[in-house]
Amino acid sequence: MRKLVTVGLSGIIAGPVLTGASLAADMKVTIEVPKLDVAEYHRPYVAAWIENADGGVAANLSVWYEFKKENHKGNKWLKDMRQWWRRAGRELDMPVDGLSSATRPAGKHPIDFSSSAPPLAELKPGEYELVVEAAREVGGRELVRIPFKWPAAEAFSGSAQGKDELGVVALEIKP
Amino acid sequence: MKTSLKWLVVPFCVSLAMPASAHRAWLLPSATVLSDTGSWITVDAAVSDSLFYFEHVPMRLTGVGAEPAGRERGAKGAPAATGATKREARAAQQPGAAGAPGGDARRRPPSQQLAIFAPDGSNIAPQNGAIGKFRSTFDIPLEKAGTYKLAVVGGGLTASYTLKGEKKRWRGTAETFKTEIPADAEDVKVTEQQRRLETFVTAGKPSKDVLKPTGKGLELDPVTHPNDLFAGEAAKFRLLIDGKPAAGARLTVVPGGIRYRDSINEMNATSDADGFVSVTWPEAGMYWMEAVVEDDNAQMPNAKRRATYAATLEVMKP
């Protein structure tokens, strides 16, 4: 009985969020945090960025981590997002405004970006990959990629399915 | 049976009197890549056969721990820490004291100098140091952003000679050489040992200030940063001897975890004319890398030099 009520509620909440997001988004990245049945669960740290053809970072999109812990104690696990740490994280002085935000619970989380605002405003036309990396304390680490062209000539949608630490990661671009 | 075997083995060890050179000496940091300042690492230091397992002797380092009391061979359990044994422990920690003639100390290599360099080049002291049966251990607070270097630098002399038709081996310093080699010794061959052992740890963004060579002995001049190593990628290093490119240096790279595999899996390479050498890491993990140069550039006349550089390097998974 209780379960049914919860499912119904989350359905109602999800509705308006999705409608609101579709208004003016040039790029929408949706990251699913999977529900895991483990003895000790901590929400994953998740980083999303745009990679150049040469592996360099073209734009940092988002970093979810425990950025509000006192004395930056949450920084400790940032390096566990190994690839992000090597490509971008170690060059940054976290937290960074507009990039850092709190960890998310299990579920799908859309993030919208506009081509007229940072970080996309400076993104030059070309071939890129969206990279999403997740690392969980006392858990594993996973990275998925979605190749795309910027700017898109027509509506683009791509997705990648994580196995352990990530669910579906989706990318939608509107011209 | 057991007793007779012991008597066969012991004189052999004493005559060699250089246990360290038959094994691998290493520093093992608990982590080499850390997110932020305010982190700590702990480091194990040991001499062992198998990497990176504590199964032989601790590496004795100046400023790290006090010598445990009652270390004599065959001593059953440590005696209570009386005032006298505490004093002995402190005395044994003094540089040079461990090299005093007679007893167990005679057999044991003297404490080696440990230096810890912060990213700005300043020297910091090890904390919570202790010496155990198999390893020494100490902690380092990483208060500054960048790359730290841990270096153990040592040296000494080894010699072989013939005395009244009998082959002898000796180990000591330039000072003790004058008094301990008998005047009627024949066929005296002296080798000057120069050792450097390092490892690197980075908090935040890797920096390069501590990587500058000193110009003494065999050193690593990294082209690839030693805290930026990844499986499947080639790392390039330059070896320098007395600050100049070391051509033809022999390099050995051994992955850790030897206990759980059949072969050592060591990789060998030789530095080119400009001292460059490249290593491609087959997988992620801790590696022990050693380079050796043997030449005639000893400070002592008519002596050979054997200079070694060893580093513990962590290779990350990409």
DSSP conformation letters of B193-207: EEEEEEEEEEESS--
Q: Does A163 touch chain B (CB under 8 A)?
A: no
Q: How far apart are CA B171 and CA B306, in angstroms?
A: 14
pLDDT of residue B109: 63
Closest by alpha carbon to B234, among B208, B253, B209?
Answer: B253
- Beta carbons of B270 and B253 less than 8 angstroms apart: no
Q: What is the pLDDT of residues B188-201, one digit of tens each?
A: 999 999 999 999 99
Answer whether A82 sits within 8 Å of B34, measured CB to CB: no
Answer whether B316 sits within 8 Å of A82, measured CB to CB: yes
Please give the helix or strand (H or E) that residue B10 lies within, else none.
helix B2-16
From the candidates B35, B208, B227, B315, which should be mutated to test the interface with A, based on the most A CB atoms within 10 A?
A: B35
pLDDT of residue A175: 87
As a whole number, the mean pLDDT across chain B is 84
pLDDT of residue B214: 95
Q: How confident is the model at residue B291 (pLDDT cuts 50, 70, 90)?
A: very high
Q: How far apart are CA B156 and CA B179, in angstroms?
A: 15
pLDDT of residue B191: 96
From the candidates A86, A90, A142, which should be mutated to test the interface with B, based on the most B CB atoms within 10 A?
A: A90
How large is the average pLDDT for residues A126-142? 96
Q: How far apart are CA B292 and CA B194, in angstroms?
A: 10
Answer whether B36 sits within 8 Å of A90, measured CB to CB: no
pLDDT of residue A72: 87
pTM for this model (two decimals): 0.80
Give me B229's structure tokens.
Answer: 């190593």
Q: How far apart are CA B67 and CA B97, in angstroms?
A: 11
Shortest Cα distance from B137 to chain A (angstroms)?
23
Give me B154's structure tokens.
Answer: 């040592």
- Specify the higher pLDDT residue, B278 or A23: B278
Phi, psi of B315 (to 5 degrees): -105, 125
How large is the average pLDDT for residues A81-108? 94
Closest partner CB to B36 (pick from A75, A83, A86) = A75
Shortest Cα distance from B228 to chain A (angstroms)?
8
How large is the average pLDDT for residues B161-165? 94
Residues of B in contact with A85 (CB under 8 A): 33, 35
Query: % helix / strand / coil in chain A, to the nearest 5?
Result: 25, 35, 40
Considering chain B, what percentage of its residues have pLDDT values greater than 90? Answer: 74
Q: What is the pLDDT of residues B65-105, one digit of tens each?
A: 976 555 544 444 444 444 444 444 444 444 443 333 434 44
Residues of A in contact with B38 (CB under 8 A): 71-72
Sequential DSSP letters for A74-108:
GGGGGGGSHHHHHHTGGGS-SS-TTTEE----SEE
Residue B101 CA: distances (Å) to CA of B28, B98, B106, B107, B156: 31, 9, 5, 9, 16
Shortest Cα distance from A160 to chain B (angstroms)?
19
How large is the average pLDDT for residues B112-139? 96
Q: How far apart are CA A136 and CA B211, in angstroms?
A: 33
In the predicted structure, residue B167 carries a pLDDT above the cut 50: yes
pLDDT of residue B111: 76
pLDDT of residue A33: 97
Residues of A in contact with B35 (CB under 8 A): 75-79, 85, 89
Residue B32 CA: distances (Å) to CA of A108, A117, B149, B234: 35, 37, 10, 19
In the predicted structure, residue B13 carries a pLDDT above the cut 90: no
Domain assignments of chain B as residue spans, ordered by start: 2-69+85-315
- Beta carbons of B250 and B292 less than 8 angstroms apart: yes
Predicted ipTM beyond 0.95: no
Q: Which residue has the tokens 């609101």?
A: A20
List, in order, residues 6 or more apart from A5 with CB less than 8 Å away: none
Q: Which residue has the tokens 């509107």?
A: A174
Q: How far apart are CA B226 and CA B187, in angstroms?
A: 43
Q: Does A156 touch chain B (CB under 8 A)?
A: no
In the predicted structure, residue A61 carries a pLDDT above the cut 60: yes
How large is the average pLDDT for residues B222-247? 97
Q: Which residues of B touch A (CB under 8 A)?
A: 33-36, 38-39, 204-206, 228, 230, 316-318
Closest partner CB to B205 (pick from A71, A72, A91) = A91
Give the Cβ contact number of residue B310 at 10 Å: 22
Answer whether B316 sits within 8 Å of A86, measured CB to CB: yes
pLDDT of residue A44: 97
Q: Any long-range contacts for A13-22 (C-beta under 8 Å, 24+ apart)?
A: A14/A108, A17/A110, A18/A110, A21/A110, A21/A112
Q: Does A82 touch chain B (CB under 8 A)?
A: yes
